[in-house]
Amino acid sequence: MSDKPKSPWGGGGGSDSDGGDSNGGGNDAGPRNPWAQPPGSRPRAPRAGGGIEDLLKRARGGGGGGFGGFNLPGGGNGRSLWGWGAGLLVLAWVLLTSVHVIGPQEQGVVTFFGKYSGTLDTGWRLTFPAPINSVDKINVTGIRSFEFPDGGGANLVLTRDGNLVDLGYAVQWNVSDPQKYRFELDKPDDAVKATAESAVRAAIANSTLDDVLGAGKIEIQNRVRESMQKVLDDYQSGIHIVSVALNNASAPQQVMDAFKDVTAAQNDRQSNITQAHGYATQVIANAQSQAASFNGVYAQYKLAPDVTRRRIYYETMEQVLNHVDKTVVEPRNIAPLLPLGGAKVAPNAPATGGDR
C-alpha cells in the first residue's frame, strides 16, 4: 500500500535523482493494461456467458449453441442440413425419372443401361430411375411429311426417252414399330429422304415424258411408294410410307415454251380420243339395234316366207317411193273415176290419166 498508485498510461520513462519517476512509474517499461487486476486486489471470477471470443466461437459452431439459435453451415448442424438437401434432390430425381406419362399418340421405348428392355403403352407408367432405365417417347400415329426440293429450286430428272423434267414431290410417313425406329437406323428422317430420292429417280428413268406429264403420274406415284416401302422394310426401319405425291412435273425453264405446245397437243389428242370413243359407242349401239331387228324379221320369215317376202317388198317400195315425185299413167278406155251416188258421166268423155 505504500507504493504509489501507477498511472494506467504508464510513466514518462525517465528517472530523477532519488530513483523515482516524476509520473509515478520509475520502473515501468510501457503502458499498463487498464482492465488488468490491480495490485493487491482479489482475483475476479469469470463472468457467465463469456466474452467476445466465446460469442464468435459460438457463431462459428464451436460452442454448440449457435448465434441466436441459428447454425451456420460448416458445423455439426450445418452438415445435417446439407444431408437433408441432398436427400430431397435424390428423391426428386427418382420421381422425375421413374414416373412417365405416355400420351395417346405415343409409345415409350425403355432401355436398361442402354439396352432395349420393353415398350410402354399409353398412360402413367413406372420404371427404375435413370440411369438404370431410360424412356424415349415416340409418336407412332402422327403423320410426318417432307417436300423435295425443300428450297424451291430445280430438280432435273432424266426420263426413259432422254428428256429432262423438273420434278417436285412430297412424301408422308409414320412410325409403325418404335423399337426398330429407335435402334435400327441412326438418322431415320434422313434415311426416308434418301430412299425417296432414289426411288423417284428410278421410277422416272423407267417412264416416258408423256407418262410423267400426263395420265401416267398416278402409276408412277404408286411405284415410288412400293419401292420405298420395300427398301425401308429390308433395313427394318419400322417406318410406313403413307403416300407419295408428284406435286410439280414440268419442263425445264429453258424449253418451257416448246413444252407448252407439246402439252396443248397432248390435250387435243386426248380430247379427240374421247370423241372417237363416244362415236364408236354410238355406232356399235345402232348396229346392235339393227341386228336385233333383222333377227326378229328372220324369225317371222321362217314361219311364212311368201307373206313375209311380199310384206318386205311393199315396205321397201313404200320407203323408196315416199321421197320421190310420182306420175301414175293409166291405160286408155278405163274410166278414171267410178260415178257413185247418181253421178252422170258424159257419153263421149275421153278416158285420160292424171297425176295423183
* Residue range 300-317, pLDDT digits in tens: 888 888 888 888 888 888
Residue 355's pLDDT band, with cuts at 50, 70 and 90, is very low
- State which residues form the domain around 268: 254-321
The reply to whether 168 and 235 lie within a common domain is yes
The reply to whether 233 and 314 lie within a common domain is no
The reply to whether 267 and 210 lie within a common domain is no
Choose one of 221, 250, 279: the last residue of a domain.
250
Examine residue 29 and state whether it is found in any structural domain, yes or no: no
Examine residue 130 and state whether it is found in any structural domain, yes or no: yes
Examine residue 194 and state whether it is found in any structural domain, yes or no: yes
Instruction: Give the pLDDT confidence of 52-103 residue by residue, as tens digits.
Output: 666 556 655 544 444 444 444 444 456 778 888 888 888 888 778 788 888 7
Pairwise CA distance, residues 238 & 126, whole Å:
25
The reply to whether 132 and 155 lie within a common domain is no
The reply to whether 152 and 236 lie within a common domain is yes
CATH at 155: 3.30.479.30
The reply to whether 228 and 267 lie within a common domain is no
If we measure between CA atoms, which residue out of 89, 122, 98, 94 comes closest to residue 108?
A: 122
The reply to whether 275 and 310 lie within a common domain is yes
The reply to whether 107 and 195 lie within a common domain is no
Choose one of 235, 250, 265: the last residue of a domain.
250
Q: What pLDDT, on the 0 to 100 scale, is given for residue 19?
A: 43
Residue 41's pLDDT band, with cuts at 50, 70 and 90, is low
Mean pLDDT of the chain: 76
Examine residue 3 and state whether it is found in any structural domain, yes or no: no
Choose one of 218, 250, 282: the last residue of a domain.
250
Mean pLDDT in residue range 133-160:
85
Examine residue 206 and state whether it is found in any structural domain, yes or no: yes
The reply to whether 214 and 310 lie within a common domain is no
Q: Reduce the DSSP state of residue 336 to 3 states and report it.
A: coil
The reply to whether 227 and 276 lie within a common domain is no
Q: What pLDDT, on the 0 to 100 scale, is given for residue 155?
A: 85
HSE value, Cβ hemisphere, 13 Å, CA-based, for 228? 29
| Position with higher pLDDT, 206 vs 70 | 206
Examine residue 199 and state whether it is found in any structural domain, yes or no: yes
Using the predicted structure, report yes or no on whether residue 129 has a pLDDT greater than 60: yes
The reply to whether 245 and 267 lie within a common domain is no
Pairwise CA distance, residues 196 & 169, whole Å:
9
Pairwise CA distance, residues 148 & 146, whole Å:
7
Phi, psi of 333 (to 5 degrees): 60, 20
**Would you say 24 and 6 are in contact if contact means Cβ atoms under 8 Å apart?**
yes
The reply to whether 222 and 267 lie within a common domain is no
Grid coordinates of 145: 411429311
Residue 33's pLDDT band, with cuts at 50, 70 and 90, is low
Mean pLDDT in residue range 196-205:
93
Max avg pLDDT among 71-80, 116-125, 171-180, 293-302: 171-180
**Would you say 221 and 245 are in contact if contact means Cβ atoms under 8 Å apart?**
yes
Examine residue 259 and state whether it is found in any structural domain, yes or no: yes
pTM (2 d.p.): 0.49
Grid coordinates of 157: 430428272
The number of domains in the chain is 3
Q: What pLDDT, on the 0 to 100 scale, is given for residue 291?
A: 92
Examine residue 13 and state whether it is found in any structural domain, yes or no: no
